[in-house]
Structure 1
Amino acid sequence: MKTFGGENTDFDEVISRIGTHSEKWDSMETVFGVSPHAGIAMWVADMDFRPPKCVSDAVKNMQEHGIFGYFGDDSDYKAAIKWWMKEVHGWDIEPNWVFTTHGLVNGTSICVDTFTEVGDAVVLFTPVYHAFARVIEAADRSVTECPLVIENGRYVFDFEAYEKLLTGKETMLILCSPHNPGGTVWMRQELEALAEFAKKHDLIIVSDEIHHDLIMPGQMHIPMGNIKKDITDRLVMMTAPTKTFNIAGCHTGNVIIEDPKLRSKFGKRMKALGISGNAFGMMMTEAAYSPEGAYWVTSLMKYIDENARVFDEAIMDIDGAVSMGLQSTYLAWVDFSGTGLAPEDVIERVQEGAEIAASHGATFGTGGETYLRFNIGMPRVQLVDAITRLKKAFA
């Protein structure tokens, strides 16, 4: 990422979200049995930080104007997306490639609806973000799980093994890049191999890159759109400002399609479903995709990187627990298989002993059964409280 200037942000500020209709905090007791008043929310993937001032100012300006009508003339909005992809990711796009969806789960569902048929199968590299399987199965398609392999502390693909897992019904694969929940940043040769796999089996590639800005210092994300392996005619890119700037509630995602035929088909389905953008989300996106927003992201990732170091050191103190080294995201992926405890016993210690709500690994598919995912996107004083609880619960 290039270097930009901006205002400093106090990521150490503790902001109570209880009673604000926060799914992460106000639903944790219903889902996990952990009181938000006594416990710590580390499950839903949004952070406990305010967004950059440029985003808050955009919302403030809308409020001060006082009229909240339909959003029109999206030229500046799309220009901001084009600027961000070029300046931050070195990826050249055109404004007319961009569709605005109601977030990327919605974007995924429209892709499944548009480019596959009932009875088709979709390849997922598991463990992976649980909403993918939920959307696929709800649309009367099936999931073909292709388990990832751990090598040198990170996930890798095993395409030779995947050849034997395909059923012949597959028409699409969904890539999570960077990977959620493992935090792996895929290398160029891995993405090129994936492209060849998709071409060989005639699969549409849907590349969900919602975490593409949340890259640890020293790592580099490569957009699938920059992999030149003759895959333009089968590639759908998905990005969003929501994870990056902690504005998930605005439900605004970018589906970016270079190929005219794919773009026409997707656009027609968008019209049929009557989907249009959220004015607040589009104004927030335009403000975020700016030099000020880029500066904020750089500061954020320095803070998250230190959070990851502190968290991983603490996990090492729990006999048999292993945290996968984060290359991206703010989601720590911890394997408890070495503790000798059954997954349900681990969950009991975390939820009842430590009073922490963390995402259950089994929900991410094959390979996640012995894991828990912890959201470390929080002020460090809260993180230290959480790891103190964890070490006590496993003592």
Structure 2
Amino acid sequence: METFKIVHNRKNTRSVKWDLVKELFSSEDVLPMWVADMDFQAPEAVNQALMERAKHGIYGYTVIDSDVKDAIVNWNERRHNWKIKSDWLSFSPGVVTTLHMAIQALTEPEDSILIQTPVYTPFYKVIEAHNRKVIKNPLILEDNKYKIDFVDFEDKLKTGIKAFILCSPHNPVGRVWTKDELEEMARLCEKHDVLIFSDEIHGDLSFPNQHHIPIASISEEIAQRTVTFMAPSKTFNLAGLQASYAVTSNKELRDKLDKQLLNQGFHGLNIMGNTAIEAAYNYGEEWLDGLRAIIESNYYFVKEQLEKHSDLKVIQAEGTYLAWIDCSSLGLDSDGLKTFFSKEAKVGLNAGIDYGVEGKYFMRMNIACPHETLEEGVNRIIEAIHNR
């Protein structure tokens, strides 16, 4: 699709990704390929819906009506074969916000919460912010692909884990968990009476031949102990509109979560977030299918080029738009890697150490950009390695 070839100038738009380059990387000539938003415009249907809403010119209090909820319900059934009900939905500005609320509502201070490292940085911060204990189940890197250490997983659950935060698909390693893997995690959580907080914000972004399975869709028993966090923000590049939702079929858990949201002053979504969810889920499917093909193509371009022209290894991925790069061949520690990529390669990536000590020799690259931008970033890295 032609829309994914256009290079948009995002500077001076208050973009975190582009307008904080000098502040974060100490130089304005660094190419930002870090924070997880895309350099693509949202689907035209979404932009048109937002402009039509703006034409009305009145931005009063708004409700999340049945049209918005039905769009969410229908999307999950079409895309993920998951039949949910509209009254299972809770809304907030973002997945991390809702995760904060769930931890406060459904766990107690000093409770232990399990995560699979290396993993999305806010997981650590959310757990620690509310005086809960971080327990790690490190993933195993084998044959250039990550897998779950189920022996360690169960050993950790046996210690009295209250909740497990699942990242599915996994950020930053790019795994789309198989049905067998999900069923085994679910079985063990049920066996040891552990709640599942499932971050599935990248669920729509599996590669074309992969299929994301919501863990709560596996069985009614698992659904009863699961809170699933989702949003159109990663899927359609709508993070700035601050619209996300949680799916909880267990009424007791959902009531506690909703009460916590209300206690913190969250009463719904803003007008534009409301509008965008409905338009994206009703009319964004063709755009998304085109995007997924572009992301897969971008991923294999990065993998082939870096592995052909350097000793870097790009970990095998099945989804997300984030490439996880093994930089151990450079012989640098985590600080050295940050310096090399920002000062020498002039490419702004996420430091792997930020996802846990298991990522100290890795960097994360955002590949959701036009090929022209991607090629420039890859060439800068290759040239810098050759000039060392």
Band the TM-score falls in, shorter-chain normalisation:
over 0.9
Q: For 1:169 and 1:273, how far apart are their aligned partners in 2?
A: 28
Q: For 2:134 and 2:158, how far apart are their aligned partners in 1?
A: 10
Is the Cα contact below 8 Å between 1:195 and 1:229 reproduced in 2?
Answer: no
Aligned residue number for residue 279 of structure 2: 287
After superposition, what is the alpha-carbon deviation per residue over 1:156-194, rounded to whole angstroms, capped at 9, x for unaligned? 111212344458352111000000001100001100111
Deviates more, 1:276-285 or 1:205-214: 276-285
Q: Which amino acid aligns with 2:278?
A: E
What does residue range 310-329 of structure 1 map to in structure 2 within 5 Å? 310-329=301-320
**Match of residue 63, structure 1, among 54, 59, 62:** 54
Aligned residue number for residue 125 of structure 2: 134
Q: Which amino acid aligns with 2:330?
A: T
Q: Which amino acid aligns with 1:63?
A: A
Q: For 1:230 and 1:75, how far apart are their aligned partners in 2?
A: 27
Deviates more, 1:75-84 or 1:162-171: 162-171
Q: Which amino acid aligns with 1:93?
A: I
RMSD: 1.5
Aligned residue number for residue 277 of structure 1: 269
Aligned to 1:320, the other structure's residue is in SS state coil
TM-score under structure 2 normalisation?
Answer: 0.96
Structure with greater helix percent: 2
Aligned residue number for residue 348 of structure 2: 357
Unmatched 5+ stretches in structure 1: 1-7
What does residue range 1-395 of structure 1 map to in structure 2 within 5 Å? 8-35=1-28, 38-72=29-63, 74-165=65-156, 168-228=159-219, 230-275=221-266, 276-290=268-282, 292-395=283-386
Aligned to 2:14, the other structure's residue is in SS state coil
Counting aligned pairs with the same residue, the percent is 36
Aligned residue number for residue 3 of structure 1: none
Is the Cα contact below 8 Å between 1:102 and 1:253 reproduced in 2?
Answer: yes
Q: Give the total of aligned pairs.
A: 385
Deviates more, 1:200-209 or 1:161-170: 161-170
Unmatched 5+ stretches in structure 2: none
Aligned residue number for residue 4 of structure 1: none
Q: Which amino acid aligns with 1:228?
A: S
Is the Cα contact below 8 Å between 1:317 and 1:391 reproduced in 2?
Answer: no
Is the Cα contact below 8 Å between 1:170 and 1:203 reproduced in 2?
Answer: yes
Q: For 2:64 and 2:124, how far apart are their aligned partners in 1?
A: 35
Deviates more, 1:90-99 or 1:199-208: 199-208
Q: Which amino acid aligns with 1:40?
A: L
After superposition, what is the alpha-carbon deviation per residue over 1:228-264, rounded to whole angstroms, capped at 9, x for unaligned? 2722221111111000000100111110001121112
Aligned to 2:378, the other structure's residue is in SS state helix
Q: Which amino acid aligns with 1:281?
A: G
Q: For 2:2 and 2:308, how far apart are their aligned partners in 1?
A: 31
